[in-house]
C-alpha cells in the first residue's frame, strides 16, 4: 500500500500519478461505461443500524459487491474498464464514448479483429477479464499459480477462456503470461505494475472508482468520517482512497486499510492515513 500511495503522490508532471485520475469526473466516465452493460446494477450500500448502535456510532454502511455483474466480486470493474481502454485505442475513440451497445454494433468486431487478453490471477481478476472478453466477443487466456483451487479454474473456464493452473508461484506465472501475450500477439492485462508497464494497471485502478462514485450517490450528501478498505495488493484500496481524497478535498475522511499479515497465526492489521 505504501508503494501505491507513493505512486499517487509522485511529481505532478507525471500524468499517471495525480489523484485527479481517480477523482469524481474520471469515476463518472468509468461508471458510464460499466452502466452500459445490460447486467449492470448499482450494488447495495447496506445500512447496518444495529451494528452502529452496538459500537456507539451514528451510522455504519457496507458496500456489498457480491451483486457485481453476478460475479460476487468487485474485480471485474478493473479488468472491464482496462479492456475498454484498449479497445478505445484500437478504434481511435475516446474511451468515454464507448458503450456496450457501440462495441456490439455491426462493423466494430470486424474493425477490431479477434483480440486475445492475457492475464495471471489467483481468482477474481482473471474471472472478470474472462467475463468481459466473453461479453465483448473476444478471447481470454488466464494463467493461475500453483495451488489454485480447481473450482476457481472452472469458474474462469465457464466464460470461455483458455485457463490453466501452472506449476509455479504467482510472480513466475505473471512472467509466463507476459511471454504468452508476446508470442501470440495478445494484450497483457495485469493488475500489478512493473517498470515500463504502468498504463494498464492505472486503467484497472480507475475501473474500481465506480464503487466510490456509486457510494457518494447513495450517501446523498452524507459525509463519512471513516472509510475502511480491504487491501490485497493495494490497487483497489489505492484507487478508492484517491477517489475520496479528491472528492472531499480538505474535508476528506480518515481512510483505513485492512490487510492480513501472514505468520504462524494470521492476524488482522489496520493502518490509517489521511491522503
Q: Is 23 helix (H, G, I), strand (E, B) or coil?
A: coil
Among 14, 29, 101, 122, the active-site one is 122
Positive or negative: CA dihedral 184, 187, 188, 193: positive
Q: Is 85 helix (H, G, I), strand (E, B) or coil?
A: helix
Among 29, 63, 75, 257, the active-site one is 75
Nearest-Å Rg of the Cα atoms of the chain is 19
Q: Which three cell numbers stand for residue 194?
A: 512493473
Alpha carbon separation from 162 to 7, 156, 165, 172, 217 (Å, rounded): 33, 8, 11, 18, 38
- How many other β-carbons are positioned within 10 Å of the β-carbon of residue 179? 12
Beta pairing partners, 256:
228, 272
Q: Which three cell numbers stand for residue 122?
A: 489467483
Secondary structure letter of residue 152 according to DSSP:
H
Q: Which three cell numbers stand for residue 256?
A: 483505513
Task: Give the whole-angstrom CA distance, residue 143 versus residue 77.
Answer: 19
Q: Which three cell numbers stand for residue 112?
A: 477490431
Catalytic residue flag (residue 122): yes
Active site residues: 75, 122
Amino acid at each position: 500500500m505504501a508503494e501505491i500511495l507513493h505512486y499517487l503522490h509522485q511529481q505532478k508532471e507525471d500524468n499517471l500519478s495525480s489523484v485527479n485520475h481517480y477523482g469524481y469526473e474520471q469515476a463518472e466516465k468509468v461508471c458510464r461505461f460499466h452502466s452500459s452493460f445490460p447486467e449492470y446494477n448499482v450494488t447495495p450500500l447496506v445500512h447496518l443500524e444495529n451494528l452502529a448502535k452496538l459500537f456507539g456510532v451514528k451510522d455504519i454502511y457496507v458496500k456489498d459487491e457480491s451483486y457485481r455483474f453476478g460475479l460476487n466480486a468487485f474485480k471485474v470493474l478493473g479488468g472491464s474498464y482496462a479492456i475498454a481502454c484498449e479497445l478505445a485505442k484500437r478504434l481511435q475513440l475516446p474511451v468515454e464514448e464507448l458503450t456496450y451497445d457501440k462495441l456490439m454494433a455491426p462493423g466494430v468486431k470486424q474493425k477490431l479483429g479477434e483480440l486475445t487478453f492475457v492475464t495471471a490471477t489467483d481468482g477474481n481478476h482473471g474471472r472478470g477479464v474472462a467475463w468481459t472478453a466473453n461479453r465483448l466477443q473476444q478471447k481470454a487466456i488466464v494463467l493461475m499459480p500453483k495451488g489454485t483451487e480447481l473450482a476457481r479454474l472452472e469458474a474462469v473456464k465457464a466464460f470461455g477462456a483458455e485457463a490453466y493452473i501452472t506449476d509455479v508461484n504467482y510472480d513466475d506465472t505473471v512472467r509466463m503470461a507476459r511471454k504468452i501475450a508476446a508470442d501470440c500477439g495478445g494484450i497483457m492485462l495485469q493488475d500489478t505494475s512493473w517498470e515500463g508497464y504502468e498504463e494498464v494497471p492505472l486503467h484497472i485502478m480507475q475501473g474500481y472508482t465506480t464503487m466510490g462514485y456509486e457510494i457518494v450517490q447513495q450517501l446523498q450528501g452524507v459525509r463519512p468520517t471513516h472509510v475502511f478498505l480491504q487491501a490485497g495488493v493495494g490497487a483497489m484500496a489505492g484507487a478508492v482512497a484517491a477517489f475520496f481524497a479528491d472528492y472531499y478535498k480538505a474535508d476528506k475522511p480518515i481512510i483505513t486499510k485492512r490487510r492480513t499479515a501472514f505468520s504462524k497465526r494470521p492476524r488482522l492489521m489496520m493502518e490509517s492515513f489521511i491522503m
